[in-house]
Structure 1
């Protein structure tokens, strides 16, 4: 007797068992697998005999799992993932990096940087698919199934690797049109004389803190918005003075759509990190994205120049 034959028989029986649960009946599973209903039933019965446990409760109307059946099914359901990983390993061994990567990035950061970054990454790795989630919420990487994140800070409770990739200060900016009748403020104390656009996402949005807390300015804000991009658009329209991350407004300042105010006032510095779960080994597609993003935010190209003021 071929020593592999019993293993083959058990594998066929396990596939049949998983199909019965997925499709809800022996009849439906047999149809999908190209068996007769009788053969499907015999294979599951043989599996139960070999394992020495009952996997299914059978009635004329319903099938349900026993506790042993739930445990066995959980392992069966991992097989497609194992097969996909084996296929991926073969591609990697042949030098081809492929597969799908899921990334979550803060909304304003992603809107500024990720279009160019993803296009450049796809040029280098055309067989890799990228699903990008833009969100202000801090996603749970493991639970939500993300391979990577870019965050302003890692969550303290998570077991992740966090690599700093860039820093960006907050700048005070406004449209030049705001200052046609009155000179722009030169001192922090003068900010209270101007309409400002507060970010209601933060605690105490009407207090702007500078110079490590040495200067706190109470602003007047007829508009309070919880989105950086909308605050930027309002500043461009001349609605008031805004405090925004440098990477979001640097291009506007270079093109003179906005002016930077009181440049010697140090505001909040935002550090951004590349965050990912520690996996051994790390899939090649994820390693490729990690290395690419680390390089992308270090090289002195135009996309990084926006953050280097």
Structure 2
């Protein structure tokens, strides 16, 4: 008898009625919970044994795709051909509580619960301009000189540019001549000689090598270090989304 094995009274008994004791009620409640969890575990395992399929809705900024994600997404499609992907490029922060995405790649640190953020990488831009610009404007010698020069701002980087040179730090509040949501437009306007832009070195490298762009204040780093996060909603992820997240994280973990 269960009561004898446990050494507790589970039922009140008389000649007419049998009722649960408080201990018996707690035991029943816990057993119901365990039974419910076992059903969920069975359903989860059964679901994962099925061939992965369905739609994963992804949002990222374009230059992240160009620099980092292209091969990863192609590899994911090859690994899981029955999972469809809907990829949107957005140069503005999305709100995953409103926007219909399963996964978004966002710049931190302002990613609030209940969203789940997984850090992937840190990006740091530097100052670049066309040599043509300095036929009409003086070359800046210090960050404060940027106040007097036309600057091109990528919207998500903002108008405050922290500049670092060793232990020195200067924050320059830019009054931009041009503000764009597209990093490609920032580069194009810099190439055309319209101003100084903060660009990632990988994006600017081909034009710098060809002499179309030059580093400005090369002794100073851009200072705008941004952490990039892979963000999902709260709770258990559907299989197709979890496979996508695992694929991206595994690829970043294996990078030198």
Pair 1:274 & 2:230 matched: yes
CA, structure 1 residues 99+251, in 2 after alignment: closer, same or farther (shift >3 Å)? Answer: farther
Pair 1:195 & 2:150 matched: yes
Cα separation, 1, equivalents of 2:118 and 2:180: 30
Partners of 1:194 and 1:220 within 8 A in 2: no
Pair 1:93 & 2:93 matched: no
Cα separation, 2, equivalents of 1:273 and 1:262: 29
Q: What's 2:72 paired with?
A: 117
Q: What's 1:158 paired with?
A: 113
Q: What's 2:189 paired with?
A: 234
Q: What SS does the corresponding residue of 1:230 show, helix, strand or coil?
A: helix
Displacement of 1:254 in angstroms is: 5.2
Would you say how many aligned residue pairs link Structure 1 and Structure 2? 211
2:162 to 188, 209, 224: 209
The Cα RMSD (Å) is 3.5
Cα separation, 2, equivalents of 1:145 and 1:221: 33
Cα separation, 2, equivalents of 1:117 and 1:175: 33
Q: What's 2:88 paired with?
A: 133
Q: What's 2:6 paired with?
A: none
Higher RCO structure, 1 or 2 (CA under 8 Å, sep 6+):
2
Displacement of 1:154 in angstroms is: 6.0
When the two structures are superposed, what TM-score results if normalisation uses the length of structure 2? Answer: 0.65
Partners of 1:170 and 1:270 within 8 A in 2: no
Partners of 2:111 and 2:117 within 8 A in 1: no
Q: What SS does the corresponding residue of 2:228 show, helix, strand or coil?
A: strand
Comparing 183-192 and 258-267, the one that deviates more: 183-192
Cα separation, 1, equivalents of 2:121 and 2:152: 26
Q: What SS does the corresponding residue of 1:262 show, helix, strand or coil?
A: coil
CA, structure 1 residues 297+186, in 2 after alignment: closer, same or farther (shift >3 Å)? Answer: farther
Displacement of 1:168 in angstroms is: 0.7
The structure richer in helix per residue is 1
The structure richer in strand per residue is 2
Partners of 1:154 and 1:275 within 8 A in 2: no
Deviation string for 1:109-128 (max 9, x for gaps)?
34554444322221222221
Q: What's 1:294 paired with?
A: 249
Q: What SS does the corresponding residue of 2:76 show, helix, strand or coil?
A: helix
Displacement of 1:100 in angstroms is: 1.2
Pair 1:258 & 2:213 matched: yes
Partners of 2:124 and 2:225 within 8 A in 1: yes
Contiguous gaps of at least 5 residues in structure 1: 1-85, 302-309
When the two structures are superposed, what TM-score results if normalisation uses the length of structure 1? Answer: 0.55
